[in-house]
Structure 1
């Protein structure tokens, strides 16, 4: 499957020669692919207030962006080019979640979400660049992609989108259903619909170092403890009572140097940070949860799977789900690792009582489900 997805390349070759280095065009990466939602289903999601969506329309010189929920009337416009984009399709569509995780040859810690865009003829979001890696998989119809590796990233002022002021493409490709284009960060691109079409975008997380630093400091704040209180038994009389003395600055600087962290602190931070749900994501507990014994019977028979909104990651025996660390018994770790990797396990037979209790708690929180229960 990955062999087809990458046009016959091995994962190792793709990572060595293309990942974050240069584009890759793959014809029939997913043979026969036309999408995972119909146009009507996509429009229904666009009108849903719980779904993050954008409606983009443009003329030759102007752009307009409307954030969802969208109006049904806008989704029927015919006078000018437009497109509607649905973010996080994997959260609302099981087939979308499955499609997203076909790209698990890139670590899940880097995987972000699946976006789908529907466009009428000549629709698009203009020439732009992203700060992250993206796979662009064509659904229905055709889309023309103009690609550039230009260094000039000057944007049009006051535009509601980050539109490049001077776009100079060096590649010109038309993608048909099942074709796919991989683009590394900062490669400028402009996708233009040829007739009506859909494009599925598999995006990856690329936080800035500034964001990582800020979030890490917030993490430390919750765990930091410096004993003692400020004291100055050697205080001297000052000529200016409003002056912050060098002695006070030195004393506080010396105290703050006691703030340190270890590699294990970074491990704990990354586990929590990378699995933290996005602000608009909420979990639904089952209306009528199975009793414990019924749950065990169902999962032993039919398996257990993570909810599409859940992210379970692990590192060196430490497990994290949805922003929280979770203790896992040593004997249970292989099963939990398989659950994290594959997002499902065929059975929970062999888990300890503590392991089963953990999975039952996740089920009651809406983090995961018995596989058969999910199909109902």
Structure 2
């Protein structure tokens, strides 16, 4: 269990989206949740996004996994990176859970890096918030001010820039945390073989939201009508002029779609709950049946939520749950269970409350378990 030694509320009010900062010994008695051999093992899996970055002799190279072996892993100027390690490794999941009080619709993943001396990805700029937690080893980090910078080595995909003047220049020790908001250039240089963990928070762009909502309108076949205005008049003096009244009417047509709150709330829940990385989804064999799942939970079976499962809800519409890009309407009378399903990691018979007596709820829960969204634990958590 990872515990902060600082107030996350104070941090949010002072630094979030405002300024980079270093939090010395941000965790109580920090220990690495994973070791280098396990990182290498994850990088050999086909379903896991991994890459190795090297810059021997000043030449940047990026190789993408899965990797077959690491017998020739360089002794210097090399870094192995595994994305969404929290989806695949229980220790990485535990570390990510320390940040779970932040809005989870923003949470992207926990990326783990194993770096040899002078390993890194060069000076670059990210457009997301990141907490960099230092594990074993030591790394020097430099962070610069926001500004206009010249891009470099575009062929690598590393979002590198030519350089910057540092406003933070610090060596991180195990348990230290460096927070970097979007748009601040930064660079890490490894001083001793090192593990580090990047907990990233990514927000959508305005054009992504607009494009996605437009797609939803098309899928719903909404707004499938032409502009008609019986009050339209002839324009004998300027027939080619775009009448402001006509434009206002068309603007109203579009705004009517934008202000359809029912459609928009369902769309935003589905959009934000879409998976951003591969998940370790395993369907049980044989599949559960509603009656057998109910009996098992009544006898003490506890379910654990899949790591990385994006499950959200609107507080004023608890009858609707959004998971992995889908919306689910809970049976009437089960709305009180929604916060537990979305916020909690474990659910058991006691958690279900009144929903346990609702015959319409069990087929829905069974569907989620058979998809691998929740899975049975051999032993209930303490």
Q: Same fold (TM over 0.5)?
A: yes
Match of 2:56 among 59, 64, 69: 59
> What is residue 151 of structure 2 aligned with on the other side?
155
Deviation at 1:65, TM superposition (A): 0.6
Partner residue, 2:175: 178
Picking from 285, 292, 295, the partner of 1:294 is 292
Q: Does 1:130 align with 2:130?
A: no
**For 1:191, which of 188, 192, 211 is the aligned residue?**
188
Does residue 144 of structure 2 align to residue 144 of structure 1?
no
RMSD across aligned positions (CA): 2.9
Q: Distance in 2 between matches of 1:25 and 1:255?
A: 51
In structure 1, the gaps of 5 or more residues are 232-244
Instruction: After TM superposition, list the pairs within 5 Å mapping 1:11-22 onto structure 2.
Output: 11-22=8-19
**Contact 2:137–2:194, Cα closer than 8 Å, also in 1:** yes
The one of 166, 169, 172 aligned to 1:169: 166
2:83 to 82, 87, 93: 87
Q: Does 266-275 or 350-359 show the bigger shift?
A: 350-359
CA deviations on 1:240-286 (whole Å, 9 max, x unpaired) are xxxxx999xx9999779644232332211110011112374473311
What TM-score comes out, normalization by structure 1 length? 0.85
Moved more, 172-181 or 251-260: 251-260
Correspondence for 1:357: 363
Structure 2: how far apart are the matches of 1:367 and 1:90? 15
345, 351, 375: which one aligns with 1:369: 375
Distance 1:374 1:48, change over 3 A: farther
How far does residue 134 in structure 1 lie from its aligned partner after superposition?
0.6
Summarize the alignment of residues 235-314 of structure 1 with structure 2, pairs less than 5 Å apart: 258-259=253-254, 260-261=257-258, 262-278=260-276, 280-281=278-279, 283-300=281-298, 301-314=300-313
> By how many angstroms is 1:32 displaced?
3.2
How far 1:326 moved relative to its partner?
A: 0.6
Contact (CA 8 Å) 1:143, 1:193: kept in 2 or not? yes
In structure 2, C-alpha distance between the alignment counterparts of 1:20 and 1:257, rounded to whole Å: 35
Secondary structure at the aligned position of 2:67 is classed as coil
Provide the aligned length of Structure 1 versus Structure 2.
Answer: 356
Tell me: CA distance 1:293–1:216, structure 2 relative to 1, closer, same or farther (3 Å): same
Q: Deviations over 1:29-81 (max 9, x none)?
A: 22333322221111011111111011100035321111111241466222x41
Three-state SS of the structure 1 residue aligned to 2:62 is strand
Query: Aligned with 2:313: secondary structure?
Result: strand
How has the CA–CA distance of structure 1 residues 314 and 326 changed in structure 2, closer, same or farther, with 3 Å as cutoff? same
Q: Deviations over 1:121-158 (max 9, x none)?
A: 11011111210101111121111111111413221154
5+ long unaligned stretches in structure 2? 229-239
